[in-house]
């Protein structure tokens, strides 16, 4: 009887030890990498002026999943591809986008230098981008408030409808503004939306409880715990980068964390991950 008891005790102990070991191994096992979405941030801006038709053409030829476009609205209500509130940084002009009509903006040129050569190209309207790429490319478009008002959302959706792009497989819309995202959802409930969160402002509980299927987070705010918890709650994680100098190293780190998408300034590098 004692012998049987000892054997039973030993078997139970081995069983518990095996379970504990399995749990430990599962916890420490690195995440399995998977296919990620490549989003051409402002086009192929490492090889041509950001937010230009040529930058988007290069990105298209690279075979990206989405062309990313930041929107600004002109004085006469047209949508153009421009990140900043002003044209100071990227063009040979100065002033706010909203202070110019589209025709007035067309008088300026985007300006940059590549391979010690000055490169110029005009500022494209969203319509021009759609004219060039709507038949073959997908779009990841950022909206924002205009003078604290919800005015660009309807214009954007009208253009998407005109170009047969009101398609959840062709377009994702993103914003730091929940007001803008909610407005879009009320008008086009089938389009996927990304809630962008500013660097240093990420709150896991708020991200989990949000109504948006995708969360856009700055890379240095991302940890394995954050990615795992967002995935467990059905959220996709798309990462953006502020510091170009560390971006490639951060992309490599993001790969080990199994993020779902990259807003990349280095398309060819990201494709090689």
Instruction: Give the residue numbers annotated as catalytic, written as ranges.
Output: 41, 83
Cβ count within 10 A of residue 141: 26
Cα distances (Å, whole numbers) of residue 194 to 22, 32, 41, 163, 255:
36, 24, 15, 22, 20
Cα distances (Å, whole numbers) of residue 95 to 51, 135, 193, 204, 231:
18, 34, 31, 37, 42
Concatenated DSSP letters for 68-101? EEEEEE-TTS-EEE-SSSBSTTTBS--SBGGGS-
Distance CA 13, CA 5 (A): 12
Distance CA 155, CA 174 (A): 15
Cα 253–Cα 257–Cα 260 angle in degrees, nearest 5:
105
Tokens of 124: 């494209």
């Amino acid at each position: 009887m004692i012998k049987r008891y000892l054997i039973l005790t030993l078997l139970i102990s081995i069983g518990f030890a095996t379970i504990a070991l399995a749990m430990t191994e599962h916890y420490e096992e690195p995440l399995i990498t998977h296919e990620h979405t490549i989003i051409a941030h402002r086009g192929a801006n490492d090889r041509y002026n950001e937010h230009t038709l040529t930058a988007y053409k290069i990105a298209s030829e690279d075979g990206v999943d989405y062309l990313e476009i930041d929107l600004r609205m002109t004085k006469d209500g047209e949508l153009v591809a421009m990140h900043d509130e002003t044209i100071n940084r990227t063009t040979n002009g100065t002033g706010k986008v909203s202070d110019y009509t589209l025709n007035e903006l067309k008088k300026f040129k985007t300006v940059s230098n590549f391979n010690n050569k000055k490169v110029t190209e005009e500022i494209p309207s969203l319509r021009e981008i759609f004219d060039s790429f709507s038949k073959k490319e997908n779009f990841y478009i950022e909206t924002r408030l205009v003078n604290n008002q919800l005015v660009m959302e309807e214009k954007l959706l009208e253009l998407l409808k005109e170009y047969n792009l009101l398609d959840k497989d062709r377009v994702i819309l993103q914003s730091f503004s929940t007001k803008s995202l909610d407005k879009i959802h009320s008008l086009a409930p089938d389009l996927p939306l990304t809630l962008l969160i500013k660097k240093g402002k990420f709150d896991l509980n708020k991200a989990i409880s949000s109504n948006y299927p995708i969360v856009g987070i700055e890379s240095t705010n991302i940890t394995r715990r954050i990615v795992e918890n967002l995935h467990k709650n059905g959220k996709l994680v798309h990462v953006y980068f502020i510091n170009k100098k560390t971006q490639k190293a951060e992309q490599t780190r993001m790969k080990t964390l199994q993020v779902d998408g990259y807003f990349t300034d280095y398309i060819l590098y990201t494709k090689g991950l």
